[in-house]
């Protein structure tokens, strides 16, 4: 059941372009982050679209809450290697590093 919810939340996060009414994407991201926090066995799907979207949020958003929950979802839901790469990029936000991240 959790997997079904997870997939649905990931879909909302990926599809949200920030223009949706009622901040659906933000709510989905918050739920996603807290879902992976609540259960350590729950991991994000290996979908590159999800990871790319989360990484973009971590590195490029100006919204504090978005950055917070996207980072949390990435750390707790993705592989350790991804987390380390995002962290290293987040220190400097260099375009070259950002480019490399899209190929994670």
Nearer to another protein, 21 or 64 (CB): 64
CA distance 22 to 8: 17
| Contact flags string 29-68 toward another protein, x per CB under 8 A | --------x--------------------x--xxxxxxxx
Cβ contact 58:71 at 8 Å: yes
* 19 is a contact residue toward another protein (CB under 8 A): no
Question: Out of 4, 17, 21, 91, which residue is the one contacting another protein (CB under 8 A)?
Answer: 91
Token pair recorded at residue 35:
């879902």
* 95 is a contact residue toward another protein (CB under 8 A): no
- Per residue in 15-26, is it b (16+ CB within 10 Å) or e — as a string? ebeeeeeeeebb
Cβ contact 2:35 at 8 Å: yes
Binding footprint of another protein on the chain (CB under 8 A): 37, 58, 61-68, 70-72, 75-76, 80, 83-84, 87-88, 90-91, 93
């Amino acid at each position: 059941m959790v997997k079904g919810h997870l997939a649905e939340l990931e879909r909302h996060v990926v599809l949200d372009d920030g223009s949706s009414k009622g901040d659906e994407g933000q709510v989905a991201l918050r739920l996603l982050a807290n879902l992976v926090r609540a259960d350590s066995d729950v991991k994000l799907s290996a979908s590159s679209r999800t990871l790319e979207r989360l990484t973009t949020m971590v590195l490029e958003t100006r919204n504090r809450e978005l950055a917070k929950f996207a980072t949390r979802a990435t750390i707790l839901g993705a592989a350790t290697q991804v987390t380390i790469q995002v962290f290293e990029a987040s220190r400097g936000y260099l375009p070259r590093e950002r480019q490399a991240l899209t190929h994670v």
